A and B are shown apart, each in its own frame.
Chain A
Amino acid sequence: MASTACFMIVSKNDIPIYEAEVGTVPKKEDAAHQHQFILHAALDIVQDTAWTTSAMFLKAIDRFNDLVVSVYVTAGHILSFVMSDFIIHTRLMLLHDSRNEDGIKSFFQEVHELYIKASSVMFYNLI
């Protein structure tokens, strides 16, 4: 079954720093902006929710028709005194239509790990 999945990493200032269409649905022209719209709008919900829960993985936080947005909020706001601006409150967002929660969660964790590794390269000199 073809599935839609659009993955984005959004930095602190709502600037998308990474975007990838990872679904198996053949790419459509208008899908790109639609996915951006949905994910962008979901940031409002993330903004509301992220501070009310300690969970990093916010599953199915927003939906548009049959597309669901799941978000993984990095714990940067807790560790901000250690980490640089790069990592603070970055949101990994996935727009998907599948219900595989565990898969999505582990995907997020994996990406988060890689992301932290990538963005803390600069610390190697300091440590």
Chain B
Amino acid sequence: MVDPANTKLGRMLLDQISPAVMVLRTPLVEDSCRRNDLSLIEMLSPYSTFSNIDVPVRTASDQPYRLRKFKLRLFYNSDIRQRSTEAAKERLKQVITHAGDKEISELCSRQAEIESVITTSAQELVPSWFQNFNKELIDAAAFSEHEAFDHPVACLVAVSTKDKDPIGKFVDLFNTTQLPHLLNDGSMDPKILKYYLLVHDNQEGMQEKATGILAEMRSTFGASDCRLLCINSSVDGTEEHQQNSWASHENGASNEKQIGCFLNKDDVEELRNTMHDFSSKHIIPLMELKIRVLNQQVSATRKGFRNQIKNLWWRKGKDDVPENPSAPMYTFNSTESQIRVLGDYAFMLRDYELALSNYRLISTDYKLDKALKHYAGVQEMMGLAYFMLDQSRKDAEYCMENAFTTYAKIGSSCRRNVTRCGIWWAEMLKARDQYKDAAGVYFRFSGEEPLNSAVMLEQAAYCFLMSTPAMLRKYGFHLVLSGDLYKKCDQIKHAVRTYRGALSVFKGTAWSHIRDHVHFHIGKWYALLGMFDEGIKHVLEVLACGHQAKLTQELFLSEFFQIIQETGKTFEVLRLQLPVINFPSIKVMFEDHRTYASPAAANVEESLWQALEEDMTPSVAGLKSNWLELQSKVLPKKYKESNVCIAGEAIKVEVSFRNPLQIPISVSNVSLICKHSTECDKSDPASNGSLDEDKNDTGLRTVSVTGETSTDASLFDLSEVNISMQSGETVSVQLTVTPKVEGNLKLVGVRWKLSGSVIGICNFQSDIVRKKVAKGKRKPKKSLKDNLEFLVIKSLPRLEGTIHNLPQTVYTGDLRCLTMELRNPSKTPVKNLKMKINHPRFLDIADQEVMNFEFPTYLKKQAISSRSCTTLDASKTAKTVFMFPENIASSWQTPIKWPLWFRAAASGSISLYITIYYETEDVSSIIKYRTLRMHYNVEVLPSLELSYRISPSPSRLHEFLVRMDATNKTSSQNFQVHQLSCVVDQWELALLQPMQPIGPNLSLGFLMAGQSLSCFFRLKNCKTRGSTEDKMSSLAKGIADVRLVDSESSGLFDTSVSPFDLFHHQERLHQERHDKGDGNTVDFILIAESQDDSDAEPPRTTAEILSHYACHCRVGSSSPVWWSMDGPRSVSHDFSSGFCEINLNMTVYNSLEDAVSVRINTLDSLPRSNSITNTASVSGYEYGWHDTSHLTDAKVTPDSMGGRVGKALSPESVSPFIWSGSCSTRINLEPLSSAEVPLQISVFCQGTFDVSNYSLQWNLLPGDGGDDGNESRVRSGSCHGRPYHITVLQKEQS
């Protein structure tokens, strides 16, 4: 712990609790002093402070000690009274305003970092004017009657030699009624020491007169109390002082005149001697003496046991005496006052022990007397005495707190004392490093007067900062509180200063409301001070305040615009937060050798296009075939990294803006900032006038309203967009720049104007680097940063392509003829056009002549005869790249139109990618070829769901039953099934039953929404060799079309021509099955027309055709041996004449390429089902009986059937019929040939019989076929008989 006297509080006490001297002077004295631009007190005061006066003093108990530091406080008689409230307030305000003006220059300086703030020493950080301010506050509480240290100890009477009757003046001065009320009202002893000073101005006359007067004075007032002071000895008034003692009194107005200019060395020496003499020989001895006298008196009356008892007794009685508030409670000769004076004098002479003991003594008395103010004053002094003695800290603090609360309790009359006590208390705590407590004290006595509170809160803030560990958040908070109060008192400069301090704490904080509050207010206040740049900088920080309430947002925004308006300039603001730019979503779209027909195409992933174009474009290795060539003319190395774009073609940048506020904002003139440099003026990039990055790091600059956008007009064109954004809206803006001249183009950033007043600039490069955002989407390896620089090359032809009438939404199977149009706006021709489509199943290239025909009617069979039949060229479909004819490519000037077939093959969302490759004829260009990329999305809805089921006909060999189930899956669309065709050569298709109209308007194939339809067809194999049925079906090529529509007028479509065959080919590839059977498959094409009932849609010009393909439908059973039973179905027989013999004929067909041997075994046991049907038939179903399970039976696999037969075998049952003839027949069958086997059964009674109890066993004849290498194939098998029902009836006897 340092010596208490050397602490700040110690120095303060030395300064403020020191003997006061009342100065009385005549006006002429003052005049003489004024020559030096000083008043008498000002002239004397530097010499009334002694750092080492070295006067021996004795304590009351005769302990000698030497007084070192000493100070006299000089006051004019008129100043010895308490200041009025207004005057005090005014003085404080002056101090603050003065301090604020001084520090204005610092407000613009750079913001201090909080780290540096912590390390800065307290002296540097805490404003120095606090000390003055505190002193003013303490002085304001001076000259109270309840404490004695402000009471003048002596009186200095000064009379000039020029005065008439100097002796009389001396007497007059003291006797006038102008003496302070303290002396008059009895608070203090009016008999005080007087010291007579005769002031002689050497400019005015010679010293002789003065000496005479002095002699006279000495005889009148006593020799020791008089002194002559000669001043203004300098002749010309040009004295300069090395150490200007009056520096503190210097005020700005008198700069031209040197202070103390008439005082030469001798004068100064005399001043010093006078004051030293006065202090050491008069004041100190006087005080010492008085202490002794008083001490004796006090000892006599108050010390000792008896006195104490007496005092207590006496005090008790005094309670009843009513207090008189107007008169002082204790006059100077009361014991209490004397004790107090004794204490104060002892304090002033550094005899703290004595002071403390007396204060203690008096303290209880005052308390008993309920003289609260006196009590508090004594407590205060006790605290200070404890502190100076460096004794019990606890007591010191307790006393100070006690004093503080007591003063506060008294109320408004003691407010100044509260303040003074608080300041001392806080200083005391600070001296002991209890900064946190000190801050609490400051906070406690702030509160009434806003200006005082502001300063106190600021001091509290610094206390928090200086406490260990530093309480930065409290520091910031209290600075903000203080700043608000400063603002309330119109001390804006101070408010800004405190907020700046707070900002160092709150900078970048995540506490959004705090940050907004500080930035907004400091910005506003800067603007009030006229420092608009600073103001705007701060208000900008709060613009993107989406988290604030709507009202606050409006307030922020309006304030911002108001500041901008006041400046009257247009500002360009880097990183304007309104609207917010979504950096990851920034997309740069440019076209080098890749060109895009639509923005949608540009958004497709590059890898997709590359995969599509892989075998179409020349590979990179192929391009660089000659390294010499490469060196000579291809890119200069430094441009290798940069992208290539073509003059005259726009680079599009998609930027998405977001309005974070709840209020709508308008953004205008959104455009890109670009930098263009041609190769020749590369050395002078500044000529382009675009954004210079270094310059803009300051973030704010002024531009003329006309701007610099026009300077680059010759080099590139920029698009401008105006948008207005609703609350919280995100708007995506496409900006373009079109370079006009070859050279280098750099996209620097984007610029916009907010509400027509502020220009916001966002620098792509720096912002992206800052945010470390990788662009990633289109080119994962390249960030957006790489996409900002372009090498502009001279213009090239660029094809534009569209596909007309491509529908957005179609039903599955929809078949259309579309037209693709390619256009070359430039004069330069292109060559080597190639095209590739990603989904040939959906979109394929048609022959150009298709354009001449009307679709779809020309596809009908009648129409085809009139033109040459184009059949599918297998080689063409195998190739995926379509080459346009050479003649078209080279010479066309008018748009080229090319037909395309479109078929919605499957439901779902389909993306179609079409890429067209072409080469330019200009060989000198860097870009040799270009591709046009087109992208379309088609939504395909399900329409008809089809399923086919084919089963062998039970009755005929080579015939199959086809069941087609069609379901309309749409909700509103109706379809008319037009025809069903099967494609492969060997088949013939026909309806099972002739078609009958269902209603007047409805034909068989009409399908309402949600309906389903089942049709049965007969499918006949025409490929059979050596069969008699061959002849009748071999008339056509075997392609069979079945019309399912009523009207004869609509002809059948020819499914063998394009586009049917084209898509059939694709479908076959697509629907390929892995489990290939024995090659017996059939492909169906169903053609339907959509019947649109809704009136809302405009009638279509062409009927919509839907084609559905079902490929690889499996035909027949798994067995390679087919057979059919032939014979009568119903026989009438007279059983009375014996049993009935029925001849059956079995035709067996070998569908294999090898010869097989077939054995037919007949079994004479009955399946149980037979007996059941037998009994059923007895109950009257004689004719027309129909086994409903027939159809399903036919489909059951032979294996399960065998199981049924086996189960049904029952040894007990007696068969109603038996097989006649041999029970096993073996035949050999040549490949693809058939043979007939006669069979016979004998029936014994009438009934319906299922002749299925036989089985076929086949096996390949060994050594016959040459392809035995395939071991996996089935070499043998067995089949059970199929149901064949014969009804035998009793023949009626006629």
Contact = CB atoms under 8 A, between A and B. Distances in A.
Contacts of B2: none
A100 B988 CA distance: 94
B227 to A, nearest CB: 59
A36 B513 contact: yes
Interface string A19-36: 000000000010011011
A16 interface: yes
A105 interface: no
A41 B502 CA distance: 12
Contacts of A29: 549, 551-552
Nearest to A41: B477
Contacts of B514: 33, 36-37, 40
Contacts of B513: 32-33, 35-36
Nearest to A32: B513
Contact of B473 (A15, A16, A32, A40): A40
B70 to A, nearest CB: 43
A45 B467 CA distance: 12
Given A41-B477, A44-B471, A33 B551 contact: no
Contacts of B471: 44-45, 48
A95 B478 CA distance: 18
B480 A37 contact: yes
B474 A15 contact: no
A38 B477 contact: yes
Interface string B1093-1119: 000000000000000000000000000
A43 B473 CA distance: 7
Interface string A29-66: 10011011110111111011000000000000000000
Contact of A44 (B464, B510, B517, B549): B464
Interface residues of A, number: 18
Interface residues of B, number: 21
B474 A16 contact: no
Contact of A14 (B464, B510, B517, B552): B510
A15 B517 contact: no
B152 to A, nearest CB: 43
Given A33-B516, A33-B517, A40 B549 contact: no
Residue in B469, B476, B511 with the greatest tally of chain A CB atoms within 10 Å: B511
Given A14-B510, A29-B552, A41 B516 contact: no
A41 B509 CA distance: 13
Nearest to B520: A33
Contacts of A36: 511-514
B472 interface: yes
B511 A40 contact: yes
Contacts of B516: 33
Nearest to B548: A32
A98 to B, nearest CB: 23
A33 B514 CA distance: 5
A37 B510 contact: no
A42 B471 CA distance: 10
Nearest to A62: B474
A69 B471 CA distance: 17
A16 B477 contact: no
B553 to A, nearest CB: 11
Interface in B426-476: 464, 469, 471-474, 476
A26 to B, nearest CB: 13
A33 B521 CA distance: 12
Contact of B510 (A15, A32, A42, A48): A15
Nearest to B471: A44
A41 B476 contact: yes
Most chain-B Cβ atoms within 10 A of its Cβ — which of A16, A29, A37, A40? A37
Interface string B476-519: 11101000000000000000000000000000011111101100
A29 to B, nearest CB: 6
Contact of A41 (B473, B510, B517, B551): B473
Nearest to A30: B517
B487 to A, nearest CB: 14
Nearest to B514: A36
B510 A16 contact: yes
Interface in B227-268: none
A16 B547 CA distance: 13
Which one of A35, A41, A45 has the greatest number of beta carbons of chain B within 10 Å? Answer: A41
Interface string A80-107: 0000000000000000000000000000
B551 A44 contact: no
Contacts of A38: 477
A39 to B, nearest CB: 8
A45 B475 CA distance: 12
B686 to A, nearest CB: 44
A14 to B, nearest CB: 7
B911 to A, nearest CB: 37
Nearest to B470: A44
A45 B472 CA distance: 11
Contacts of A14: 509-510
B349 to A, nearest CB: 43
A47 B472 CA distance: 11
B582 to A, nearest CB: 23
Contacts of B478: 41
Nearest to A38: B477
Contacts of A42: 473
A38 to B, nearest CB: 7
A36 B480 CA distance: 12
Interface string B161-174: 00000000000000
A40 B472 CA distance: 10
B477 A37 contact: yes
Contact of B511 (A16, A44, A48): A16
Contacts of B473: 40-44
Interface string B780-798: 0000000000000000000
Scoring A29, A36, A47 by chain B CB atoms within 10 A of each residue's CB, the highest score goes to A36
Interface in A68-126: none
A41 B474 contact: yes
B474 A44 contact: yes
B270 to A, nearest CB: 58
Contacts of A15: 510
A85 to B, nearest CB: 16
A14 B551 CA distance: 28
A38 B511 CA distance: 12
B508 to A, nearest CB: 11
A43 B509 CA distance: 14
Contacts of A44: 464, 471-474
A1 to B, nearest CB: 25
Contacts of A45: 471, 474
Contacts of B474: 41, 44-45
A102 B478 CA distance: 31
A43 B552 CA distance: 26
A42 B473 CA distance: 8
A25 B1289 CA distance: 103
A80 to B, nearest CB: 21
Contacts of B477: 37-38, 40-41
Contacts of B517: 33, 37
A94 B471 CA distance: 20
B488 to A, nearest CB: 14
Nearest to A8: B511
Nearest to B552: A29
13 contacts: A16-B510, A16-B511, A29-B551, A32-B549, A35-B513, A36-B513, A37-B480, A37-B514, A37-B517, A40-B476, A41-B476, A42-B473, A48-B469
Interface of B: 464, 469, 471-474, 476-478, 480, 509-514, 516-517, 549, 551-552
Given A33-B513, A40-B476, 18 more contacts: A14-B510, A15-B510, A29-B552, A32-B513, A32-B549, A33-B517, A35-B513, A36-B513, A37-B477, A37-B517, A38-B477, A40-B473, A40-B514, A44-B464, A44-B473, A44-B474, A45-B474, A47-B469
The 9 closest A-B pairs by CB, nearest first: A41-B477, A33-B513, A44-B471, A33-B517, A15-B510, A36-B513, A44-B473, A41-B473, A44-B474
